[in-house]
Chain A
Amino acid sequence: QIYLVQSASEMRKPGASVTVSCKVFGYLFTNYGVTWVRQAPGRGLEWMGWISAKNDDSKYAQKFQGRVSLTTDTSTRTAYMELRSLTSDDTAVYFCAAGAMAYCGPSCLAPSFDNWGQGTMVAVSS
């Protein structure tokens, strides 16, 4: 059985950075990719980016370019999402999702959303 366990909730002040981890159990980590999605309170889902655990290929949402970094550590089967220069608008629950790379259309190959972590709340407040 595949499951993902994320790190605990975090509180940060504006301007700070936060790193959320996502440990993967139950499958060969390097065969898959990890996608990060966030959800502000009472709002919908927002895609942030994905990273391949096989070769570290990655793609970021234009909105987060330059402010987010996705990494993986294959020795610990863990994916990381670092978000910098935080503002109150970054207050949200951050989810990781893992799955095999899959065709999604012309010139589109991205991790599927098969399995999700439980979410990590990040609160940004002065």
Chain B
Amino acid sequence: QSVLTQTPSVSGTPGQRVSISCSGTASNIGDHTVHWFQQLPGRAPQLLVYVDDQRPAGVSDRFSGSKSGTSASLAISGLQSADEADYYCATWDAKLDGWVFGGGTKLTVL
């Protein structure tokens, strides 16, 4: 049972826009910055969004992050087959005094 709640799976067709949600509480998302990671099959995770809505250099602007209250979202526009991966949110939890991750969302491009 993960501290942050993510929908286990989401799907879309090429070119479509999809959104992945991450729900937490006041002690984690409500008071701390959120990161998003993409993990391609058999690969290490890669930082996709940091500090709620910032993209590292080299990350496509098709990926965008947002946060409101105790929830965060990752939107992917112009869906491509290469986007098929697992996506994880993460934030600091003050009660646990450590980083916590969502359970992950598997994105399937139909």
A residues near B (Cβ < 8 Å) are: 35, 37, 44-47, 49, 59-62, 95, 97, 102-108, 110, 112-114, 116-119
Q: B42: nearest residue on chain A (CB-CB)?
A: A119
CB contact between B101 and one of A45, A106, A114, A118 (< 8 Å): that residue: A45
Least CB distance, B89 to chain A, in whole angstroms: 10
Check B98 against A61 for contact (C-beta < 8 Å).
Answer: yes
B residues near A (Cβ < 8 Å) are: 2, 31-33, 35, 37, 39, 44-47, 50-51, 56, 88, 90-92, 94, 96-104
Least CB distance, B104 to chain A, in whole angstroms: 5
Least CB distance, A34 to chain B, in whole angstroms: 13
A60 cross-chain contacts in B, Cβ below 8 A: 98
Most buried by B among A35, A37, A59, A110: A37
Q: Would you list 13 pairs from A and B whose C-beta atoms are within 8 A, ordered by A residue?
A: A37-B45, A45-B39, A47-B90, A61-B96, A62-B97, A103-B33, A104-B32, A104-B91, A104-B92, A112-B47, A112-B50, A113-B37, A119-B44
Q: B45: nearest residue on chain A (CB-CB)?
A: A116
CB contact between A47 and one of B56, B99, B103, B104 (< 8 Å): that residue: B99
CB contact between A45 and one of B88, B96, B98 (< 8 Å): that residue: B88
Least CB distance, A109 to chain B, in whole angstroms: 10
Assembly CA distance A113 to B37 (angstroms): 9
Most buried by B among A60, A61, A105, A118: A105
Assembly CA distance A46 to B44 (angstroms): 13
Least CB distance, A64 to chain B, in whole angstroms: 10
B88 cross-chain contacts in A, Cβ below 8 A: 44-45
Most buried by B among A60, A61, A102, A108: A108
